[in-house]
Amino acid sequence: MKLTLGFSPCPNDTFIFDALIHHKIDTEGLEFEVLFDDVETLNQKALRGELDITKLSFHAFAYVANQYALLDAGSALGFGVGPLLISDKFTPEGLLDALNSETSDLKVGIPGKYTTANFLLGIAYPQLQNKQELVFSEIESALLENRIDLGLIIHENRFTYQDKGLTKIVDLGDYWEQLTGCAIPLGGIVINRNLDREVQLKVNRLVRQSVEYAFAHPKSGIEFIREHAQAMDEAVMYKHIDLYVNKYSINLGEEGRKAIDTLFNLAQERGIIPAIRKNLYI
């Protein structure tokens, strides 16, 4: 049986899925047709129901939970891993002054409407409504070219913005942790609810085994990871992996599910996402 599988070319995803798609583990008769896309493109594909299995932002998951269920394996949650709001014009204090101005209409570059990063921005800075959607890797350049006033960065840009003379305004992961005490849920792996229950459970088991294999053999997928890492050097690749792949990627567990439930409950209370009527999990 062949299933379509979408994930990003970022090191955390290629690290997680290397063993699965390259048959370093027994895939129990399943084959996977892999599609690589940035996270917002994957979000949009999930909204259209195009893939059997896909990585997506937890914000986007709120809009497709009737069609997709969340696997216990493969998610990106953690402490100190949140998106950063950066600028080359403002300090944190200067931003507050600007937001308090009645004429403030600052333009923010975001990595996608349905990203969890944008969700957190909406909670922390509801005043920032003038948003421009950009591919995540273009946000730093847009700031330096004065096309935007603020940038919301994710992924490996956490490690590169300072080298370009840009300044952190707020770490939205820290903001979330102080607000809730939970790990921040960034992205998860979901599977189409129309697939047989046995297939859903098998995929969950295989993704977990793929993560466990990657942890046991961390250099096994280095060529595959490097191939898709957009000229990132090896040290940055593994910083990226260490930041986003952890115990929650093996199994959400009680803590991981609590963090996700907290995110969705808070978002529903504030009217940011629609009410969800199905159990989120596989």
CA–CA distance, 11 with 16 (Å, rounded to integer): 8
Q: What are the DSSP calls for 225-241, one per residue?
A: HHHTSTT--HHHHHHHH
User: Using CA of residue 111, residue 114, residue 117, residue 118, what is the dihedral sign?
Assistant: positive
Are 2 and 8 in contact, with CB atoms under 8 Å apart? no
Are 17 and 29 in contact, with CB atoms under 8 Å apart? no
Is residue 280 marked as binding? no
Is residue 117 marked as binding? yes
Is residue 235 marked as binding? no
CA–CA distance, 113 with 154 (Å, rounded to integer): 13
Q: Is 171 in a helix, a strand, or coil?
A: strand
Is residue 220 marked as binding? no
End-to-end, the C-alpha distance of the chain in Å comes to 20
Tokens of 272: 């940011």
Tokens of 236: 């940055």
Looking at the annotation, which residues are catalytic?
155
Q: Give the number of C-alpha atoms closer than 13 A to the C-alpha of residue 60, restricted to the C-beta side.
A: 27
Q: How far is CA 55 from CA 35, 64, 231, in A?
A: 11, 12, 22
Is residue 57 marked as binding? yes
Q: CB count, 10 Å around CB of 100? A: 9
Q: Which positions make up the binding site for substrate?
A: 55-57, 116-117
